[in-house]
Chains A and B, each alone.
Chain A
Amino acid sequence: MIRKSLFLLPILLIALLSSCGTKTEHPNRVVIGIPSDVNTFNPLFASSVDEGQVTELLYLSLADFRWNENLGELEAHPMLANSWKWAEDSSSITFYLRDDVMWSDSIPLTTEDVVFSLDVYSDPAVSSRLYGFFEDFYTDEENHIDVKKSFIVQSDYELQINFKPGSTPKLIDVVHPVIPKHIFDKYDRKDIETADANFNPVTNSPFVLKKWDRNQTITLGVNENSFLYNPENINELIFKIIPDYTSRLTQLKKGEIDLMELIATEDIEEVKNSGIVELMTIEGREYDYVAWNNIDPNVYKDGGGITPHKLFGKKEVRIALTHAINRKEILEEYLYNYGELAATPISPIFKTYINSDIEQYNYDPEKARKILAKEGWRDSNNNGVIDKNGIEFEFTLNIPGGNPLRSYASTIVKNNLNAVGISIKVETLEMGTLIDKLNSKSMDAWMAAWYIPIPIELKVFWYSDLQYSPLNFASYQNKKADKIMDELTKNSTMDKKKELYFKFQEILHEDEPITFMYWKSNIVGVNETLRNTGIGPFGAITHCWEWSVEN
């Protein structure tokens, strides 16, 4: 008997609760669904994309960078600084701060905080995420900024920063989220990492952290004293952590969350049918590729240095492989054309620098076979696999697990290559194992993606001297490209840069070190009641204090 009534109780409660907690009680609240929780609110340590987005909502910088879509360029606007002035020779810059910015504990923000921030960012004892990035500053042997030489504090709101002679400083290298000196000064530098202040942040933005339910929700409220505060806009921002993609999608369609990124292309119809969700896309931040190890892994492993890979060493072979792969089919059939074919690592969003004269290597298995045959690859022993000098054209293609697009593409790649007489085995690797093998350059071929930085970075991906290109996993070698990359690190006019970028794209296209597949769109679902979301290449969750809800 008791047992029977136990069953009834939850049902009663469910009936009670079904009517609670609806949108009407919180008209200016926005809920964003994210796949994983953050581990810190301190911009010093934010390492994942999610963490970066949340911390930059809490800690503003001296300048605010927005994306100019027409030019395809970053533009700096005033934020914590009203203005700034470069010296004639770019050896120093002076910032004029706002005088009305308060930390959320009502202490005014001054140039002391800016100096402290840069000091801590470069301090080896702290190991912040920006450690090692301050080559333009006066630093000691441990890459720590020399505070005395670098900063001249003219007043509470005027700061001059001096750079190392011969360096080429850019605004974006200097402007980082400002952290409160009066809070973090109390700690020993090496203890900052585990400081409690990381989990109860004192912020300088229009948002404050109201509540943090680990692995459940992050609730941000507004700070009415902030200079960016607008009573018409949202007053509560909640990040709801939903690791399972399908759950996230369901909640988006039901209106339980208002925003979600990275929607899969096959779910677009469903989302549109919900009637309450609008779809927006963020283009050109990520491209997929099939990498061919340009060098022989065995020789490299034994310390023998750089020798061409016996299968992929020649660029003609790599171009043939690109011709053999039906990239368009994947783009059409899986991505439903949300994206575009890629030819070089320069994203089409950089409108000024993208070389549109570059012609794609289209899907043409006949051509692929001809090129391979010309290079000496024929099926001499009639086993269905082409060979040359006794070596069969067979290899293993590694892909990271858990990515449906990559699994899909790898199947098509496999079948496409089989059709031109290449034997290929696809192996899924766990991320850690894959990264390990990437570093040791021991794989023959793999499929992965690059999330490209803004502004454009090339050296770290394509430089021949592997010491300077830790991300050049395919070990691409080309002296001409190196020269261009070196030139680009210097300050030059936009026309000169355009010339250099154009040339770089030509060289890379000729060499085809990897098969560039396609630029993918990040499909963002936004509840139709949200206004002014400003979704662009920087992300979907940037200037949230400008959002408003229309009822």
Chain B
Amino acid sequence: MNKEFLKALLKRIISSLITLFLLISLLFILIRLSPGDPTQKFLSAEFSPELIKKVTADFKLDQPLYEQYINFVVNIFKGDLGISYNYRMPVLSVVWQFLSFTLLFASLSFLIQIIISFYLSIKSIRKKGTAFDKVVSKLSLIVYATPAFVLGVFLIYLFSVQLNLFPSSGSKSLDFDSFSIAGKIGDYFWHLTLPIITLSSAGIAMFYKYLRDNLDETYQQPFILNLRASGYDEKVILKKHVLPNAIRPLISVAGIELGILLGGALITEIIFGLPGMGRLMLNSIFERDYPLVIGCALTAGLIIIISNFIADLIKMKLDKRMIKGLMN
């Protein structure tokens, strides 16, 4: 069973990679066909028209499209993503700088989402039907319905402008280097509190809803009644039987959510001025920095494939355990 599953997984990965390649090619063509080009920032009295001609030739933008595409494909397979027009650095270096922040930010948010939604949903299901359950359920729907930019702006206005508790932008203080390790970690947390709340709220609401509904459904199953009749303790039932069942469908959702987060939570980054992938990709599109756009898209796509793969592996492990558990 294990081997078959792995084979199917592998097949999925390969077809995902092929689709990613097709997507990137489409992106490549689209962006070159769209109006505007990387030399548009040189359109001013400060620059000579000779420069525009020169730059166009340097970037090989005057070559026919299919020639550019072939160059591109050859380079991709050599692992060369080219040099960013704006940053004048290899695309991979640029992407890595912003990616490291986004990875940290997204993982943190993801962790918090899981922890809080878990806590809330388990408490909700235990106190099913009480005020707590009803209030949290309704609240989660409202939070889910609040757009990130509304929430973010409101949080900044309240906590940063009026109450002066948190900074309104940036990820570190000016004197960051002079802090101790504990100080540095604390500084990060201080700067990231409002952005994490903004980014995680919708996710917490979503996970909460899924988890609670799943738990609810599982608790309705007849075998629970059986277990209770057999005298098992509530806590054990929860841990060994209900939770594993309820978690399974959550894993795929979680995989997708992680991918979205890692792609760069665009609006949050913009509101809070954070140096992440989302802003990088958006700016590179606006500035027509073609190699960087492709680099970002490729990175984001790969990350999604990887996170889905991990999610599938976890699912597989859980399946095995569940089957073992049932057999006993």
Contact = CB atoms under 8 A, between A and B. Distances in A.
Q: Are A and B bound to each other?
A: yes
Interface of A: 3, 10, 13-14, 16-17, 20-21, 25, 31, 39-40, 45, 47-48, 124, 127, 129-133, 143, 193-194, 198, 211, 213-217, 238, 240-244, 246-248, 250-251, 254, 256, 430-433, 435-439, 451-453, 457, 460-461, 470-471
Contacts of A14: 165-166, 186, 189-190, 193
B168 A250 contact: yes
A301 B68 CA distance: 27
Interface in B215-232: none
Interface stretch (B21-29, B35-43, B205-213, B314-322): B35-43
Contacts of A470: 43, 49
B270 A243 contact: yes
Chain A interface, >50% SS class: mixed
B88 A461 contact: no
Residue among B43, B48, B58, B89 with max Cβ neighbours from chain A (10 Å): B48
Contacts of B174: 21, 31, 217, 238, 240
Contacts of B98: 214-215
Interface stretch (B5-13, B128-136, B246-254, B272-280): B272-280
A195 to B, nearest CB: 9
A293 B88 CA distance: 37
Contacts of A460: 45
B190 A247 contact: no
A500 B171 CA distance: 54
Interface in B147-196: 156, 160-161, 164-175, 177, 179, 182-183, 185-187, 189-190, 193
B15 interface: no
B54 A132 contact: yes
Residue among B45, B173, B190, B270 with max Cβ neighbours from chain A (10 Å): B45
B44 A251 contact: no
Contacts of B179: 20
Nearest to B41: A47
Contacts of A130: 48
B155 to A, nearest CB: 12
Contact of B86 (A10, A39, A194): A39
A130 B47 CA distance: 7
B172 A213 contact: yes
A216 B47 contact: no
B119 interface: yes
Contacts of B45: 452-453, 457, 460-461, 471
Contact of B273 (A143, A193, A241): A241
Contacts of B88: 39-40, 45, 193-194, 198
A44 B169 CA distance: 31
A250 to B, nearest CB: 5
15 contacts: A16-B183, A21-B173, A198-B88, A216-B171, A216-B275, A241-B273, A247-B272, A256-B167, A432-B34, A432-B40, A432-B288, A435-B35, A453-B46, A471-B43, A471-B44
Contacts of A25: 175
Given A47-B41, A242-B169, A453-B45, A431 B54 contact: no
Contacts of B86: 39
B40 A431 contact: yes
B51 interface: yes
B44 A451 contact: yes
B288 A194 contact: no
Contacts of A17: 173, 183, 186-187, 190
B67 interface: no
Given A31-B174, A194-B83, A432-B36, A131 B165 contact: no
